[in-house]
Amino acid sequence: MHKALLVGALFIVVSDSALAQGMDIQNRFGPSGTHFQLPTCTPAFNYEATITGGTAPYRIELRVFVNGVLKMSAEEVVSPAPPIYHYSCLVQLAPWGLKPGDLVTFQAKVIDLLQGNVLDMDYLYGDVVP
């Protein structure tokens, strides 16, 4: 009985690990940590990403920061999880009064709905220019 419980616990740990390793968020500019130029006159920005590897329902959470201050957040539940999901969220920038030198950080997370684990995270940085 003890061995059966141990094997069951190992199976759960291995499957959680396999699920987390299989998820991937790829924003449209490149790998996580990519910078791009964001003109001050941009009224809105469409954050886009492709999420792959999902096998169970998950939540996408997008948070947007300006110079480290949270300006907005959005959530979307994906259920059932397709093998490839194209995520898009329109971010209204005009009200924030962006200035050259500001840094806009887009942080996307994929979170397991059942256990609340973060399965993958992506950072995209908008360097505000005139």
How much is the pLDDT for 22? 82
User: pLDDT tens digits for the chain (130 residues)?
Assistant: 545 444 443 334 434 443 444 899 999 999 999 999 999 999 999 999 999 998 899 999 999 999 999 999 999 999 999 999 999 999 999 999 999 999 999 999 999 999 999 999 999 999 999 9
Query: Which residues of 8-98 form beta strands (DSSP E)?
Result: 24-27, 34-39, 44-52, 58-66, 69-78, 84-92
How much is the pLDDT for 9? 39
Helix (H) or strand (E) holding 109: strand 103-112
**pTM, rounded to two decimals:** 0.82
How much is the pLDDT for 23? 92
Domain of 59, CATH number, reads 2.60.40.2550
Q: Which two tokens stand for residue 85?
A: 């999901």
Cα-atom radius of gyration of the chain, to the nearest Å? 18
- Per the structure, the complete domain to which residue 90 belongs is given by 2-129
Calpha distance 113→59 (Å, rounded): 6
Residue 24 contacts residue 53 (beta carbons within 8 Å)? yes
Helix (H) or strand (E) holding 123: strand 118-129
How far CA 51 is from CA of 19, 42, 95, 108, 114, in Å, comes to: 13, 26, 29, 10, 18
Domains: count for the chain: 1
